[in-house]
Amino acid sequence: MRSNYFLLFFLVFVFGLQMSAYAKLKKPNTIISGSINLDDQYEAVLSFRERKNDNENSIYKPLSKDGKFVFKINLKNPEFLNFTIIPKARNKQLAINFPLYIRPGSKENLNLHYNDTAYLSVGKGRLSGNNKALILFSNFHFQNQKQLFFNMPAADSAAFYLSRIFDFVDNLSSKFNVKEQRVKSYLDAWALNDYIQNLMTVQRYYAKGTDKKLPRNAYQFSKSPVKIFNQSEALLLYDTYSSLKNYIEIIDTSDVSKNKKSDEYNRHSINLVNQLFSNDAVKTMFCSKELQSYMRSVRFSTEDDFENKLQQFKELAKVVPDIEVRHQLVEGFTNLRFTREGASMPDVIFKDAEGKSVPFTSFKGKYIYIDMWASWCIPCIKEIPHLKKLEKDYEGKNIVFLSISVDEDKDAWKKKMSDLNLSGHQLEVGTSNFEKLMNMQGIPHFLLYNPEGKLMIYNAPRPGSVEIRKIFDSI
């Protein structure tokens, strides 16, 4: 009996330790607070970017009437977070958007002041030098963009104008004693992106309607782009891919580079990036985006043509260092066979609102007009009145209308159907992966199949267009 009591006591003790550890893990260990000269008509947003899938998770905190905000979060590792302030009315856009480098257990206090001319200034507060540098560079970034828009620099002074970006970063790092290498790398990548993006803007300006050309020193970088882009922090910035692509175009003087729309150029630029960089993550990012761009533009005339290009794509994808990403790219290209005009409908199963299975092939025998949509998609919602009228006008004809939702939140989908009084064939993709098989880049997306189940039009006209009625009348 005594041994049983001892065992019970031991189990309770162990359970208590586990719950204590769990509570410590879940308890917020980091505080980001502060104030700004705005009121409760604005919200502060703290975003966590997931690098692997490019998604962002955001926390919204309304400002108090006197402009104060507090975020309490739990961090396991140092992270770059994005801080934004947005108006609730969404009728104004503020230049308040900057990264913060936050360590677990830290307490950062932001004392901010904003106006439409000078943008942001940072007052006294418990704020690290890392974050002062990041905030003030964001301010310089917005001011620089505005200045470039209204006052284009003279061609012969463009190099000096652009080089200020790197000088400003170096001065910030020195002034605020930035020692964290990740922050330095982030600032360098941000400055390089700005330099290249602004260089392209100036270059386009002088390429139109003027005989002036930028001097060669505008294309000379005071810091090594290869070294900067090779750092993992560069991947945290959205503009890095386009900047890297522009940089390759600047340094590539080969004959292949003259025809940027050719398949050979895609292979050439991918191989060049793989030669220049050692960071596999950077190479994977660039190569995968290039191959995705190629997938969006490729066209097939016959099934044999598709098979040939699939084999070429598989060879090209071998340069992608990340095996999982490489597999996903090849799988995505393989699915393009369903997007070719004349392709058979994929043998997939959808779900209705009650969860019952609905085979796609069950609609064979009629023309099938498909609306791919979601409850959160505003352009989709705007097309629904037109879709209802179209369905009514062609009632009794040899045409079936399918509305297929890509909503992850099934309750939101059902509520929207009720709110909009939707009837007819209301389905959701379920586990079919139909939207991926059809290589859809956005919604709303409309498709038209013939009675034999062959794809007639991959990008069919919208319900509100005159074109779709012409097509329906002709068939």
Q: In this predicted structure, what is the pLDDT of residue 12?
A: 42
Q: How far apart are CA 268 and CA 260, in angstroms?
A: 10
Q: Which of 140-154, 382-396, 452-466 has the lowest mean pLDDT?
A: 140-154
Q: In this predicted structure, what is the pLDDT of residue 102?
A: 95
What order do you get walking across the sheet with 42-50 strand by strand? 55-62, 42-50, 79-87, 97-102
* pLDDT of 409 higher than 60: yes
- Count Cβ neighbours within 10 Å for each residue of 267-282 and write b for 16 or more, e otherwise: bbbbebbbebbeeebb
Provide mean pLDDT across the span 73-87: 93
Q: What is residue 27's three-state secondary structure?
A: coil
Provide mean pLDDT across the span 261-281: 83
Q: What is the CB-side half-sphere exposure of residue 301 using CA atoms within 13 A?
A: 1
Q: What is the CB-side half-sphere exposure of residue 114 using CA atoms within 13 A?
A: 22
Q: Which of 223-227, 261-265, 333-337, 439-443 has the lowest mean pLDDT?
A: 261-265
Q: How far apart are CA 197 and CA 183, in angstroms?
A: 21
Q: In this predicted structure, what is the pLDDT of residue 49?
A: 64
270 falls in which pLDDT band (50, 70, 90)? confident
Tell me how crowded residue 190 is: count the other CB atoms within 10 A of its CB.
Answer: 25
Question: Which CATH class for the 349-474 domain?
Answer: alpha beta
51 falls in which pLDDT band (50, 70, 90)? very low
Q: Per-residue pLDDT tens for 229-268?
A: 999 999 999 999 999 999 998 888 887 666 666 667 778 8
How many residues belong to the chain? Answer: 475
Phi, psi torsion values for 232, nearest 5 degrees: -60, -30
| Sign, CA torsion 373/374/379/380 | positive
Provide mean pLDDT across the span 350-376: 94
* pLDDT of 101 higher than 90: yes
**Domain 24-127 CATH assignment equals 2.60.40.1730:** no
Q: How far apart are CA 375 and CA 410, in angstroms?
A: 9
∠ CA(326), CA(329), CA(330), 5° rounding? 90
Secondary structure of 322-387 in HEC code, one letter for each residue? CHHHHHHHHHHHHHHHHHCCCCECCCCEEEECCCCEEEHHHHCCCEEEEEEECCCCHHHHHHHHHH
- pTM for this structure? 0.75
3 falls in which pLDDT band (50, 70, 90)? very low
Q: In this predicted structure, what is the pLDDT of residue 103?
A: 94
Q: What is the average pLDDT score of the chain?
A: 87
